[in-house]
Amino acid sequence: MAAGYPLVINGHLFRTSEALYQAFRYAEDRSEDGELIQELIRREKSPMAAKMVSKKYYPLTRDDWDFTRVKIMDWCLRAKLLAHWDKFSALLLSTGSLPIVEESHKDRFWGAVAVRGSEDELEGENVLGTLLSRLRTHVIAGERPNLQDLPVTGMVILGSPPTQVEPGPTDPEQGELFG
């Protein structure tokens, strides 16, 4: 859900890795107006706006989503790291050896929720924190992510498998220059 790490995938700007992740839910599905759902999500400027557009189309989510979503999120985070190696690796390293936890108000899968009656105890699977901690381990080892082998069959962005990953423009005004 962090802005400031835009990605260009196959020449198409995704302002956030959340938008990219949400777009992978739909492949070639179209909105009621005939537009690709991925394109509607891609256009959004904030991670939460991308998620809200996606939420509208949840009934069209790919059938294997519950089994593939963690692998797809991992790929999106690795793409974010590869495209923004200096900035994102510095952020990961700034956590030291502390656990990385996605503190949430309600999401016990991707994050952890405060235990009622406790100010500093959280419970949940914290899958996002685990993926980020794993990325931090690779950064410490100096290992840049490999994105060549797609972890899930049918990973398609706007008609093609994601083969080209580049950093997007840091100036939001430049974002309109991309397809």
Structure confidence by residue, pLDDT tens digits, 43-98: 999 999 999 999 999 999 999 999 999 999 999 999 999 999 999 999 999 999 99
Mean of the per-residue pLDDT values of the chain: 92
Contact, 60 vs 41, CB < 8 A? no
Averaged pLDDT, 5-29: 96
**pLDDT tens readout for residues 91-127:** 999 999 999 999 999 999 999 999 998 878 999 999 9
In this structure, what token pair is assigned to residue 48?
């939460």
Q: Write down the pTM of the prediction.
A: 0.92
Q: Is 88 exposed, middle or buried (0-12, 13-18, 19+ CB in 10 A)?
A: buried
